[in-house]
Amino acid sequence: MGPATLVFWIASLFALGGGLGVVLFKQAIRNVLSLVVVMLSLAVLFLLLSAQFVFAVQVIVYAGAVMVLFLFVITLLGPVREQSTMRLPWQVFISAVVIAGFAGFLVAMLRGVTYRTPDAADPLFGTVQAIGAGLFTDYLFPFELTSILLLVAAVGAIYLSRGPR
Amino acid sequence: MQALALAILLFPAAGAVFLGVFNWRGSRLLTAFVGPGVVWAAFVCVLILLAGGVNQDFTYWTWIRSGSFSVPFDILIDHLSLFMCLVITGVGGLIVTYAVGYMEHETDGSYARFFCYMDVFVLSMLILVLAGNTIFLIVGWAGVGLSSYLLIGFYYWRRSAVVAARKAFVMNVIGDVGMILGAFVLFVSYKQVVYGPLFGALPKSDGGAVELAAFLLLVGGIAKSAQLPLHTWLPDAMEGPTPVSALIHAATMVTAGVYLVARFHVLYDAATYAHAAVAVIGAVTALFAASIALVQTDIKRVLAYSTMSQIGYMFLAVGIGAYSAGLFHLLSHAFFKALLFMAAGNVIHALHDDQDMRHYGGLWNDMRRSSVTFLVGSLSLAGIIPFVGFFSKENVLGEAFSRGDALGYSVWLIGFLTAVLTGFYTGRMWWISFWRPAAPERPVAGHLHEAPAVMLIPVAILAVLTTIGGALQVKAVGGWALVDDFLRPVLGEEHITAVALEYVATLLTLVLAALAFAAAYNFWIRGSWNVDAWRARLAGAARVLEHKYYFDELYDRAFVRPLDRLARLADREDRSVIDTGVVDVGTYTERSASSLSLTQTGFLRSYVLVFVAGAVIAAGLVLWRAQG
Amino acid sequence: MLLDAGTIQVGSEQLEVSWFLLLAAALFVLGAIGVLIRRNPLVMLICIELMLNAVNLTLVAFARQLNNREGQLFALMTMTVAAAEAVVGLAILVDIFRVRDLEDVDDLSELKG
């Protein structure tokens, strides 16, 4: 087992553990921290996949900004505990069924895919230059739209959180 | 000339539209001018056409075109149609002018409505007589039926008026059906609708579809002219205002049947059985109506039944082939019947709408002018010389007598008896209403006022016409026949010549009718004969007469009640079956909607579940498609 | 091996792409379970973020396998959108919490019927 494989397994373990933590922890803050663990593990995996820019963005934006936002909100709202009484008794059972089916389909789909021949190998794969070139030439339009989306989200968030006049 | 002919129709049409659309709440003065004014304008047009000697079928455009079938919008100007137009616009003009005064108590809106309807009527009647083809005739025919309904039911807040209007309309429609079927038979058999070609295509003697068509058309005529057995609507039609009774139910609409037979004389000359039926129906109705008139207490009802009876004379005349005689009587009847109705209207107006003759009396002294005019009309109705009624009635009876065959003598006999009876009931009407001392119910002389000028002048004009009208046709030895001559181009030669015995018959009729008129005085006023004793002896007969031979009861049992039951059944079924069916659709939709709305649980998590489940299904579909 | 997706060269080793894909699938399913089962609205949002991350992993893995950059760009877009959505969602949550003391998302059931 070479170093890459080892890194992969360790990162996967952390990711899965974090995922389980997200689903299972009762205290909200532990959920958030589990998610941070998942994100950092995934960042490592991105790096393993030679996607340097994505790795950086994941760490800075996702784990660094979005998660921090979640933490702010949690501390703002205070500790929240879930009640034990359930309003939808069948929810768990049906969810289990649905998810089982979902998982099965996912696997089946992934098995059934015919992969096309890969493009030519690019020494600049995953680098900032490659991403930048793509963003500002072929994919300029989606880039601009995404900026507008962020603007809308920011305005919306400010408006929504203004509270009663 | 072509434009002038169309103008005859356009004037009343414009009047009706103006009064109906623009002047509904408008100036009373404007209504008073436009209402009669358009009728007089049409009269002037008729005079001009008459003076110009016009005799043509004017076609304006093709109204209906369907494959090879085409119906023109055409106006036929010949002596017959001009003759009828003179009556309609001339006498009609006088009556509408009279109505300006008679209807003055109405509100502004009702006033305009009245004249609008009158103009509609004049328009429809003109269409009827001016039509140059059978289809256009039907338009006018239906139009007068509608106007009659609107005008009988003019006082629509009165239940009796509405019921009477409906009754008139239903009976008219029965006639309309016959008319239309007759027109269809003619078209199917002879492929023509325009009069000229149609009459040319008819066979000269019995055969083919002539009898059927003639009978069917006759049904229409019977209904419109209130002859037996479709007569019951006419007395009830007196619910309408008096000018309406004068115009529609005396002078014009009810004479449409007579015009019909005259116009279609080519058909009736060929269809001998139907032709004879016309005469028989006319004669029987004349006697029948005269007998009922004897026991009526409402002055307008007496006049209504006398109208029915006189039209019977006209039918009698056209039924034996004496078309001009029938039309002369139509003209003379228009004069004196309109006169009678309008004079009676003056009286009714002065006596605050009381129409019961038993409450009258003493009017000779207190309402001299109306009494004189009414007397002129009554004597004319009774057929007394020198009024026009004598000349026209004797014309008819003379033609019947001179025919010399069984039909001629039998209808003459009935006509003779009717004439005597007419004298009797007319006298009764006159003496009871005008000559005897005033009844206690009558308002005192001081409170009575004679009618205003606008109501008196038309009456006076008609009185004059009634007096001198006889000069038109004096068929005594070496006499002249202006009406016959005028109508000969259209109606052909009258093939009856007078015999000496006819003069005896005429004299006999005159004397007996005059005696009957005088006898009525003795009977009812002087009391020389004990009225009550007679009444007791003839109680049964009196009851039959008072119930109008139970025709209304018969029709009620035979037709009205079964139809009413059927209508109620249909209504019940409609409500229970159809309505519930329709309502059920709504209920079921509502219920299914409310059950579907249960999926909106409000719980976010169930929505998410559905969301995810949907994604799963979509994934499954993709997979399935990819494999297949 | 598992999914027949090919291998990638990392340094001197060959890694199976299928492992990445399966890991991503597992994380996605975990996230889905969490959204359906948990009743704290905040936790539901977090689970959605988890699902988005899993998708990102799949995208980048495929991008690496096929040597193109669309996958990475798409992953960047996804991250941006996820960030925007998290911001707005949290703002709404804060708004709700201001009005009532919410612990269970099942309490938000006024829009029923």
Domains in chain C: boundaries: 2-102
User: What is the mean pLDDT of the segment spanning B57-67?
Assistant: 82
Residues of B in contact with C108 (CB under 8 A): 602, 604
CA distances (Å), B216 to each of B169, B195, B222, B558, in order? 18, 17, 10, 22
Q: What is the pLDDT of residue A112?
A: 67
Q: How far apart are CA B428 and CA B517, in angstroms?
A: 7
User: What is the mean pLDDT of the segment spanning B11-31?
Assistant: 79
Q: What is the pLDDT of residue C3?
A: 66
Residues of C in contact with B597 (CB under 8 A): 113
Do B94 and B458 touch, CB atoms closer than 8 A?
yes
Query: How many alpha carbons fall within 13 Å on the CB side of residue A111?
Result: 10
Q: The dihedral of CA B225, B152, B388, B130: what is its sign?
A: negative
Q: Suggest the residue from B609, B617, B624 to mutate for an interface test with chain A (most A CBs closer than 10 A).
A: B609
> Could you tell me which residues come within 8 angstroms of residue C85 by beta carbon, excluding any fewer than 6 positions away?
A153, C48
Residues of B in contact with C36 (CB under 8 A): 605, 608-609, 612
- Domain positions in chain A are 1-78, 127-165
Tell me the two tokens of residue A125: 């794969």
Which range among A59-63, A130-134, B441-445 shows the weakest confidence by mean pLDDT? Answer: B441-445
Which range among B1-15, B105-119, B187-201, B469-483 shows the weakest confidence by mean pLDDT? Answer: B469-483
Q: What is the pLDDT of residue C60?
A: 93
Which stretches of B191-295 are DSSP H helices? 195-201, 210-224, 233-236, 242-246, 256-263, 265-270, 272-293
Tell me the two tokens of residue B188: 């199917």
What is the H or E stretch that residue C9 is in?
strand C7-10
The answer to whether the Cβ–Cβ distance between C31 and A46 falls below 8 Å is no
pLDDT for residue B538 is more than 80: no
Do C91 and A161 touch, CB atoms closer than 8 A?
yes
Q: Suggest the residue from A83, A86, A97, A102 to mutate for an interface test with chain B (most B CBs closer than 10 A).
A: A102
Q: How far apart are CA B425 and CA B519, in angstroms?
A: 10
Q: How far apart are CA A45 and CA B372, in angstroms?
A: 127
User: What is the mean pLDDT of the segment spanning B551-556?
Assistant: 80
Q: What is the pLDDT of residue B496?
A: 57
- Residue at B29: amino acid letter: L
Which range among A99-103, B329-333, C108-112 shows the weakest confidence by mean pLDDT? Answer: C108-112
Do B217 and B134 touch, CB atoms closer than 8 A?
no
Residues of C in contact with B607 (CB under 8 A): none
pLDDT for residue C31 is more than 80: yes
The answer to whether the Cβ–Cβ distance between C112 and B612 falls below 8 Å is no
- Mean pLDDT, rounded, of chain B: 84
Q: What is the pLDDT of residue A9?
A: 92
pLDDT for residue C112 is more than 70: no
* Residue that is written with structure tokens 């325009």 in the block: B194
Q: What is the pLDDT of residue B176?
A: 92
Q: How far apart are CA B54 and CA A53, in angstroms?
A: 108
Instruction: Rank B4-8, B357-361, B457-461, C22-26 by mean pLDDT and report only the highest.
Output: C22-26
The confidence band for A83, taking pLDDT boundaries of 50, 70 and 90, is low
Q: What is the pLDDT of residue B199?
A: 83
Q: What is the pLDDT of residue C96?
A: 82
Q: How far apart are CA A157 and CA B515, in angstroms?
A: 114
Hey, is B479 helix, strand or coil?
coil
Instruction: List chains adjacent to chain C, taking adjacency as at least 3 C-beta pairs closer than 8 Å.
Output: A, B
Q: How far apart are CA B81 and CA B322, in angstroms?
A: 17
- pLDDT above 70 as % of chain C: 88
CA distances (Å), B391 to each of B333, B401, C91, in order? 11, 15, 109
Q: What is the CATH number of domain C2-102?
A: 1.10.287.3510
The answer to whether the Cβ–Cβ distance between C113 and B603 falls below 8 Å is no
pLDDT for residue B548 is more than 80: no
Q: Suggest the residue from A27, A31, A67, A71 to mutate for an interface test with chain C (most C CBs closer than 10 A).
A: A31
Q: What is the pLDDT of residue B314?
A: 92
Question: Residue C2 CA to chain centroid, in angstroms?
Answer: 23
Q: What is the CATH number of domain A1-78?
A: 1.20.120.1200
Q: What is the pLDDT of residue C69?
A: 85
* Residue that is written with structure tokens 């020494």 in the block: A123
If you ran DSSP here, which 8-state letter would residue B74 be given? E
B266-306 tens-digit pLDDT: 888 888 888 889 999 999 999 999 988 888 888 898 999 99
Q: How far apart are CA A123 and CA B484, in angstroms?
A: 124
B129-159 tens-digit pLDDT: 998 889 899 999 999 999 999 999 999 898 9
The confidence band for A163, taking pLDDT boundaries of 50, 70 and 90, is low
pLDDT for residue B484 is more than 60: yes
Q: Look at residues B539, B284, B496 and name the one whose alpha carbon lies nearest to residue B402.
A: B496
Q: What is the pLDDT of residue B173?
A: 92
* Residue that is written with structure tokens 């007397």 in the block: B375
Residues of B in contact with A115 (CB under 8 A): none
The answer to whether the Cβ–Cβ distance between C36 and A153 falls below 8 Å is no
Size of interface A-B (CB pairs under 8 A): 35
Helices A140-160 and C70-99, axial angle in degrees (round to 10):
10
> Could you tell me which residues come within 8 angstroms of residue B495 by beta carbon, excluding any fewer than 6 positions away?
B321
The answer to whether the Cβ–Cβ distance between B604 and C35 falls below 8 Å is no
Cβ-count burial of B607 within 10 angstroms (0-12 exposed, 13-18 middle, 19+ buried)?
Answer: middle
CA angle B411, B417, B421 (to 5 degrees): 140
Q: How far apart are CA B475 and CA B506, in angstroms?
A: 11
Of C22, C46, C106, the CB nearest to A70: C46
pLDDT for residue C4 is more than 90: no
Q: Which residue of C has its CA nearest to B596?
A: C113
Query: How many alpha carbons fall within 13 Å on the CB side of residue B116?
Result: 19
Residues in chain B: 628
Q: How far apart are CA B226 and CA B340, in angstroms?
A: 19
If you ran DSSP here, which 8-state letter would residue A51 be given? -
Bond from prior residue into B229 cis (ω within 30 degrees of 0): yes
Task: Write down the ipTM of this complex.
Answer: 0.87
pLDDT for residue B526 is more than 70: no
